[in-house]
Structure 1
Amino acid sequence: MARGKSYKVSFKPTFQNQVMLFPPDLNEMVSADHPVRIVDQIIDGIDLRVLVARYKAGGTSSYSPSMLLKVLVYAYMNNIYSSRKIEDVLKRDIYFMWLSGMSKPDHNTISRFRSNRLQEILQPIFSQVVLLLCTEGLLSLKELYTDGTKIEANANRYSFVWGKSITNNREKIKEQLNELWKYAQSVAAAELNSPPDPPDPGPVDSSKVREAIEQINQALDSVKNEKKVDPKIRQKLNYARKNWPDTLDKYDKQEQILNGRKSYSKTDTDATFMRMKEDHMKNGQLKPAYNVQISTNNQYILSYSIHQNPGDTLTLPTHLSSHIKHLKIKPSNITADAGYGSEQNYKLLESKKITAYVKHNQFDRNQNEKIRLKKRFTVDQLPYDQQEDVFTCPAGKKLINQGSSQSQSSSGYPQVITKYQCESCSYCRLKNQCHGQKGNRVIEVNLQYRRLKTKADKRLNTKKGIAKRKKRSYEVEPVFANIKHNHQFKRFMLRGLEKVTVEMGLLALAHNLRKVA
């Protein structure tokens, strides 16, 4: 550079207000390998007649259901879950403009399409995509890895109704009604030859309460000296007549909504209060949520289902039935954690001839030699001779069959419990370690469940079983981590079981297409 000579800084010209002779082509602005083209291609390749059938002929024209589905799926792929935000990006994002063909449906149209049009039909559409990916060799439908997680509902965390509280309050009303009856009997007994009988000891309802209060009033009215009647009792009867029947009617409606559940939220009656791992208050607080179950292969979601009960144990029969119904194929094996290791689930998989790589609740403990030695007196550790139908205790004594009885699990599943008693615990040096019962030791065993657990233990400890157990930890759990943490979906946008199922379908579809892209 010559001394004393200066140079000007040059900038590229900006033609912000330049008028174009031809408008830009959006197709040229979207690269050939962009994920939005994957969404467009796959949804164009599936049959959407079931969705089109939701529309009625006549009236004004509607936005294309294919276009709306593409927009929703691509929005969920990009962590955009609000219908208002989707409306916004349709006006300013090139990829959304290209996907919608410059259509600009408003948030109400998007919301109605998602909430109403897709109900009950998104799952078959999702299954078509899964089958399409299977034909491309990206996944297998024969091997399932199943797990569940809880996702918070779009409901107030403090708008709860508890089934136990309803039961307790019913009992309180019944107790107070009995006290009023006793008082009426004691006051009227001197003036009536036959004092009123107490109410039916069965469950109380609004009609019974009205009838009982009327009879109590009649009994008290029969007392000639009104001063003998405590005015507080009259006041309590008036309160009961005005409030108790309506309260019991309210409890009846709430119990119908509960339908066997322990709780629900007033702002989303389909949501059940569950203990969440993601707890912002760090105090183990119960929150309204749904139990989301998925089955995966190669980290693709093959099927999904939404459940209202917090435990995983009871979800497997419904989830597996839905999987087979929509994909029209039965898996050859399924891998799951100890939350699914119940007698009911083992028996179900055995009857369907599906190989179960499913742990039971004692499996991990039994793998530890030190724990096994400490627990050598527990029923699970006692050797069993199937031919003689006897157990043998660590001291070498026989426990002999004393007969069987029918029982039910906490979920209502029928079980057969067999009782065994030791032939003699007298003078046994191991008695204090073995049991604390008076006399000879008595154990109760579910032989069917024991057989299924022993079968599961052998299968899980084979080379294939060990490989399956290892693979499960990085097969299905990362899918939930990706949805909840990487893509920040920790709370449903919609309310109600059917709408939440639609939203989970969009999440699953977005996850699979994101993985393809």
Structure 2
Amino acid sequence: MSNFRQVDRETGFLLLPSVDEWLPERHLARFVVEVIERLDLSAMVKAYRGSGSASYHPSMLLGLLVYGYATGVFSCRQLERATYDSVAFRFIAANDHPDHDTIATFRRRFLREIEGLFVQVLMLAREAGVLKLGTVALDGTKVHANASRHSALSYEHASKLEAQLKAEIKELMALAEAADSADAPDGMSVPQELARREERLARIAEAKAKIEARAKERFAREQADHEAKMRARAEKARKTGRKPGGRPPQPPTAGPGAKDQVNLTDEDSRIMPGPGGGFEQAYNAQAAVATGSLLVVANDVVQAANDKEQIAPTLAALAALPEALGKPEAMLADTGYFSNANVTACAAAKIAPLIALGRERHNLSWQDRFAKAPPAPDNPTPLKAMAHRLASPEGRQLYALRKQTPEPVFGIIKSVMGFRQFSLRGLEKVKGEWNLVTMAWNVKPMFALAPA
């Protein structure tokens, strides 16, 4: 005869249950609650008026978001459902169940305050001995926007649609004037059709205006670059007394191009090349990661697919960190970040740059791998000093940390945590959400590295 434990779903609890007994002593949900209890949430608390019905405490709502993003639950509806289905979420919510509208409103409302909490979490990591700001590695990854690339409207197609809609409005106006003598199709309302086309015309005009504004800004930047190049050619000709070789740079073209476009769902997002080929509607998410702990110490989201202009903002973000966190000594980055200006900016910030001068060769021979460093140049420029550092065995060994620092972080965020697309729209909101994602990521290695 089989011997089974009794399955009884009817008998009630003899004593009232405690949510504290539902989780193991060492659990990520407990750690998230402990971390948030040590954060200064006074700015959030003061934002509530204190009148009307009692509100959920910011610490509880923030805990749901941080644990949700750390475990791959990003939708506010899924977070609400998890407070019923998941023991860990029940523990964080203290057996309460805030609805999805409350969670969504809290997330949108306090994105700016969460940015400050990101630094506070880093301070806790420093106090725990987890974080040491020695060498940081900078990289970027494309994250899908909450919009489809098929919702993008090009300037050329917008102009064609505009002409088509104006012609249709003219036809409908003629049909309305001849309504007594001509039969309109069954079920067709001329006023409704006119209103629909006028609304579409207004949206197209708005989209074209945005494309034209972007083109104007781009032309101003390109014109400034063109003038700088022409001045450099003229200065070179003056010094050498000879006409510079090569063709002179072509001046930029004013006005929008035919393929300039705007996305009607999220106008701040951009079409960017995807990692596996093709293009996607995305943002470029940046992260500076500490090599020793894999904690993200600075983050940003930009609209440019190219990483060339992201060194200076990252240096500014690192400089703004509290002195108690320490100061980075070196910065690693791939060739997408390389420029003479970026190397000079790192040297000016007293951070040793290790930025690849070009694409790395694969399958190096043992002679190349163990080759001695060339002699150090006399009075080197920042660029020459970095090139010598990269050629030395110590520099090659340090630069080798680049691949194993930010790339695993992005891989875990995307594949393990499951964050592949932003939930919010608009550049500022997306920046706030990426800040929340990286803060949730930081909690995970802090929990793993914390003593039992």
TM-score (norm 1): 0.63
Q: Does 1:305 align with 2:297?
A: no
8 Å CA contact 2:44, 2:113 repeated in 1: yes
Partner residue, 2:346:
349
Summarize deviations over 1:199-240 as a string: whole Å, max 9, x none.
Answer: xxxxxxxxxxxxxxxxxxxxxxxxxxxxxxxxxxxxxxxxxx
Partner residue, 1:287:
280
Partner residue, 1:514:
444
CA 1:364/1:55 → structure 2, altered by over 3 Å: closer, same or farther? farther
Q: Does 1:489 align with 2:419?
A: yes
Aligned pairs (5 A) from 1:415-454: 451-454=381-384
**Which one-letter code corresponds to 2:211 in the other structure?**
Q
Partner residue, 1:270:
268
**Which one-letter code corresponds to 1:495 in the other structure?**
R
Summarize deviations over 1:160-187 as a string: whole Å, max 9, x none.
Answer: 2457x59x979xx9xxxxxxxxxxxxxx
Shift of 1:332: 2.1
Shift of 1:17: 0.7
Q: Tell me which of 75, 80, 83 is aligned to 1:90.
A: 83
CA distance in 2, matches of 1:52, 1:258: 43
Q: Tell me which of 24, 27, 30 is aligned to 1:34.
A: 27
SS of residue matched to 1:294: strand
8 Å CA contact 2:315, 2:346 repeated in 1: no
Shift of 1:476: 1.3
8 Å CA contact 1:360, 1:453 repeated in 2: no
SS of residue matched to 1:503: helix
CA 1:67/1:274 → structure 2, altered by over 3 Å: closer, same or farther? same
SS of residue matched to 2:4: coil
Number of aligned residue pairs: 354
**Which one-letter code corresponds to 2:309 in the other structure?**
L
Shift of 1:352: 1.5
Q: Tell me which of 34, 53, 64 is aligned to 1:60.
A: 53
CA distance in 2, matches of 1:491, 1:501: 13
**Which one-letter code corresponds to 1:268 in the other structure?**
D
**Aligned-CA RMSD value:** 3.2
Partner residue, 2:312:
317
TM-score (norm 2): 0.71
CA 1:107/1:479 → structure 2, altered by over 3 Å: closer, same or farther? same
**Which one-letter code corresponds to 2:82 in the other structure?**
V
CA distance in 2, matches of 1:515, 1:259: 45
Q: Tell me which of 5, 10, 16 is aligned to 2:3.
A: 10
Any gaps of 5 or more consecutive residues in structure 2?
164-199, 219-259, 366-376, 448-452
**Which one-letter code corresponds to 1:335 in the other structure?**
L
8 Å CA contact 1:134, 1:141 repeated in 2: no
8 Å CA contact 1:154, 1:268 repeated in 2: yes
Aligned pairs (5 A) from 1:79-478: 79-117=72-110, 119-162=111-154, 165=156, 251-256=208-213, 260=217, 263-278=261-276, 284-297=277-290, 298-328=293-323, 330-361=327-358, 451-478=381-408
**Which one-letter code corresponds to 2:266 in the other structure?**
D
Using CA pairs below 8 Å that are at least 6 residues apart, which structure has the higher relative contact order? 2
Shift of 1:257: 5.8
CA distance in 1, matches of 2:29, 2:103: 18
Summarize deviations over 1:344-402 as a string: whole Å, max 9, x none.
Answer: 2112112222111111236759x99xxxxxxxxxxxxxxxx999xxxxxxxxxxxxxxx
Any gaps of 5 or more consecutive residues in structure 1?
1-7, 174-242, 279-283, 369-384, 388-449
8 Å CA contact 1:258, 1:264 repeated in 2: no
CA distance in 2, matches of 1:244, 1:271: 22
CA distance in 2, matches of 1:458, 1:354: 16
8 Å CA contact 2:353, 2:386 repeated in 1: yes
**Which one-letter code corresponds to 2:428 in the other structure?**
E
CA distance in 1, matches of 2:6, 2:207: 73
Identity %: 28
CA distance in 1, matches of 2:112, 2:384: 40
Shift of 1:452: 4.2
Higher strand share: 1
SS of residue matched to 1:319: helix
Larger Rg: 1
